[in-house]
Amino acid sequence: MSGVVDMWQQAASKWNEVSGQITEADWEKPCATCPEWTVRDLVDHAMHWQAQGGSALGAATSPGDDWSTVEPALQAALADPANLEGTVEAFGNMPKQAVAGTVIGDLLIHSWDLARAIGADDTLPQEATAATLMGLQRMPEDMIRSESMFGPALEAAADASEQDQLLAFVGRQV
């Protein structure tokens, strides 16, 4: 399996692909997975968490930064193995490797949310999807089911793809 930076690059590439298709008319569309949010709200939320998570990993980012700032800063931070050592107090002393996995998973899942909202291809990169599913399944249930993360898991079919398993695990209706 590839390293953290490779997984993040896959998620970032998918985000770039999908977000690059947003039209002016899309910004006020409801988000398919969170109907109380618009596409703009979803993008703002995703950028907030990418910037906050990036900052925790040594990236020169802060909430409010846009993708053109977050992407290269987070890329550089994840490329330095020293930024993945230790824990992050602001994330409940979560190991930095787990924070990186959460940042990757967040971007990946929100890429799917965004694709669904604007009618783009919602196929996620297989390797990053598998790594995200495995990482989330290892996290404490009370942490991933908290209000700031994901709701209850849904049942996935026995023969579901890894993407469908991931989406069901984070409570997304496929």
Q: Which domain holds residue 54?
A: 4-169
Averaged pLDDT in 10-residue chunks for the chain of 174 residues: 86 98 97 89 95 95 94 96 94 91 94 97 97 90 75 91 95 86
Would you state the pLDDT for residue 24?
97
For residue 50, being part of any structural domain is answered with yes
pLDDT, position 148: 66
Exposure b/e, 43-79, CB count within 10 A at least 16 = b: bebbbebbbbbbbbbbbebeeebebebbbebbeebbe
Q: Is the residue at 138 inside a domain? A: yes
Give domain status of residue 174, yes or no. Answer: no
Q: Is residue 23 part of a domain?
A: yes
The reply to whether 74 falls in a domain is yes
The per-residue pLDDT for 150 is: 82
Structure confidence at residue 1 (pLDDT): 43
The total domain count for the chain is 1
| Residue 28 located in a structural domain | yes
Rounded Cα–Cα distance for residues 123 and 171 (Å)? 17
In a domain, residue 151? The reply is yes
Give domain status of residue 141, yes or no.
yes
Q: What's residue 151's pLDDT? A: 79
pLDDT in tens, 8-58: 999 999 999 999 999 999 999 999 888 899 999 999 999 999 999 999 999
Looking at residue 30, its pLDDT comes to 94
